[in-house]
Amino acid sequence: EPEVTQTPSHQVTQMGQEVILRCVPISNHLYFYWYRQILGQKVEFLVSFYNNEISEKSEIFDDQFSVERPDGSNFTLKIRSTKLEDSAMYFCASSLAGGPHEQYFGPGTRLTVT
Amino acid sequence: GDSVTQMEGPVTLSEEAFLTINCTYTATGYPSLFWYVQYPGEGLQLLLKATKADDKGSNKGFEATYRKETTSFHLEKGSVQVSDSAVYFCALSSSGAGSYQLTFGKGTKLSVIP
């Protein structure tokens, strides 16, 4: 069964460093998403991406964040200058269509900023 | 804005016990409602969904009914198994045009003991 994959599973970085989190969505899906979950808190939407551009973003997704689909398979989230409060589990998701359709989630990348 | 409130965990039940996890929501319009499950070390998986009032979603013995009058989508299962041990997330997708983000509750951890 096709699945969303994410690498790495755990990333440790120092404050102020840039990190890139990688995701491979399901191959025929058209919509891509990033969510994050700070320990003990809710899963929060960051950004959605369709047709090679951001379709929606939350207020969390400020200028420190960017997303890219550099080729036909990868979908990346870049944090330019990490802060302690960026420590969280980051989930990538994809869906075949927009609207109330199932979003398929990856296993997550745990980002620890020290 | 949209929000989802679900009962605090953790919940510990004996095998074959009845399960209810409460979920209420606040949203404008007519959202779609979802239950996602996260097994240890894995991503979030869609368990069931309902897209309009009075719809009942069901899967693997779990059920939830979209109750517009009480803005609720409670998850139930008549007889839980050890393999149901996981974290359960209630979520909604707004009906706003072009808005496909999922809004999640905090998650409820369920442990089922033999």
Please enumerate in sequence order all residues whose Cβ is within 8 A of that of B109, keeping only pairs 6 or more positions apart, or say none. B9, B10, B11, B86, B87, B88
Largest CA distance in chain B: 47
Condensed to tens digits (0 to 9), the pLDDT of residues B37-94 reads 998 878 889 999 999 999 999 999 999 999 999 999 999 999 999 999 999 999 998 7
Question: Are A105 and A6 in contact, with CB atoms under 8 Å apart?
Answer: no
Burial A32-63 (b: 16+ CB within 10 A, else e): bbbbbbeeeebbbbbbbbbeeeebbbbeebee
> What's the pLDDT tens digit per position in A52-72?
999 999 999 999 999 999 887
Chain B residues close to A103, C-beta within 8 Å: 46, 102
Mean pLDDT over B90-106 rounds to 81
Q: Residues A76-79: contacts with CB within 8 Å, 24+ apart?
A: A76/A20, A76/A21, A76/A22, A76/A23, A77/A20, A77/A21, A77/A23, A77/A34, A77/A46, A77/A47, A78/A18, A78/A19, A78/A20, A78/A21, A79/A18, A79/A19, A79/A21, A79/A111
Average pLDDT over all residues of chain A: 93
Residue B107, pLDDT > 60, answer: yes
Nearest to A108 among B43, B49, B91 (CB): B43
The winner for highest mean pLDDT among A16-25, B23-32, B35-44 is: A16-25
Contact (CB<8Å) B102/A55: no
pLDDT of residue B98: 60
- Are the Cβ atoms of A98 and B100 closer than 8 angstroms? yes
Both tokens assigned to A57: 């973003």
| pLDDT at res. A12 | 98
Query: Is A55's CB within 8 Å of B100's CB?
Result: yes
Which of A58, A102, A107 comes nearest B46 by C-beta? Answer: A102
- Cβ B101–A48 below 8 Å, yes or no? yes
Statement: residue B96 has pLDDT above 70 = no
Q: Residue B97: pLDDT above 60?
A: no
